[in-house]
Amino acid sequence: MGLSAQEQKAYYTNLLHLHAKHFGTGIKEYRPISSHGSDRIIVRLISERGGTCIGIINPVHISENKAFISFGIHFKSAGLKIPEIYTVSEDQKHYLLEDLGDESLFDRISAGNSFDDEKKGLYKRVFEELPKFQITAGKDIDYSLCYQFSEFGSDNINFDLNYFKERFLSNFFKSEINAAKLDKDLDLLKSEILEVPRDYFLYRDFQSRNVMIKDEKLYFIDFQSGRKGALLYDAASMLYDAKANIPQDAREELLAYYLEVLKSFTVIDTVYYSRKFWFFAIIRIMQAMGAYGYLGLIKGKSRFLESIPYALKNIDFILNERVPKSEFNYLKQIFFELQNENNLTK
């Protein structure tokens, strides 16, 4: 976030005052929690009476806070499993949330070596909940408060593709890029995606670290980047969450399960959606690669670089096995070369 020590101290003080005003008790201890790729400061506040809550400090991106708060209130009223928003500061730079504990879906599936039926069952439960966000609650959401983009349409797609080129390719691809060939493939990808209806809530960062498990119930967090979009993007985000490393056969079984669940919420052509899914998987992986480059190299969060080999393996498989053989030839060439860069695949 780039705050000075003095600024951080002031924001922590304001957060503690917000807690005291809402709960009527002081803080015994607070513990920082990783914000992963976010600029927010996240802490667990332990009150003098023993209760806990999560405090968020985000003085720079207030529009992000407004989106989270608005969406959160809407989702809670729709009965969805999200953290309760206890209170928000008047300037909307701080807010307090229900503490959902420390175990995420990613933590649960990372335990043990095999992706067994129990883990697969958790993902099925996730996909049973996803359409409630996308379709049921998504109907009446206030998209005017969306953070960054209000829709995953042409402008957002262009941004993500440029992000991939500038933050990932420019840093990791060693050969000279043929811009005309690359843009031809990316234009094809964009056109395939834009053909799919996008009248739904797109969660955007729908991945295993944003699903919490508390008392064996699933809760969903970090939906502040949501916007209007197509149904398939979130499924691709969850199934191709790089370090979760779901086996390919399980991914395809879970995709089929999700499409069957969708049919109880809306009318869809499952054959059409099954074909279109892979284009959303490609762009989601590319967007994530851009983030790995930015967070890993620019922000100095080197652990994000660890996801690159998984992402390369996934996108190489999709390009060579799940889209028409005659398409994306230049992208295939690029990713073949990247796969053979020792510093990316070791």
3-state secondary structure 170-181: HHHCCCCCCHHH
238 residue type, one letter = M
pLDDT of residue 346: 47
Residues of the chain with pLDDT under 70: 1-2, 342-346
Look at the alpha carbons of 177, 183, 188, 191 in this order and tell me if their dihedral is positive or negative. Answer: positive
CA dihedral 202, 259, 314, 168 (to 10 degrees): -10
Distance CA 200, CA 280 (A): 15
CA distances 92 to 15, 97, 227, 236, Å, are 11, 13, 20, 32
CB 62 within 8 A of CB 92: yes
Give all domains of the chain, ordered by start, each with its CATH number: 5-97 (3.30.200), 105-345 (3.90.1200.10)
Instruction: Give residue 105's pLDDT.
Output: 98
- pTM (2 d.p.): 0.95
Report CA-CA distances (Å) from 281 to 72, 218, 316, 319: 27, 24, 11, 10
Q: What is the pLDDT of residue 343?
A: 58
Contact by Cβ (8 Å): 161, 283: yes
Paired tokens of 280:
């959303």
Q: Is 222 left (phi over 0), alpha (psi -120 to 50) or beta?
A: left
The pLDDT value given to residue 34: 86
Place of tokens 């809306």: 266
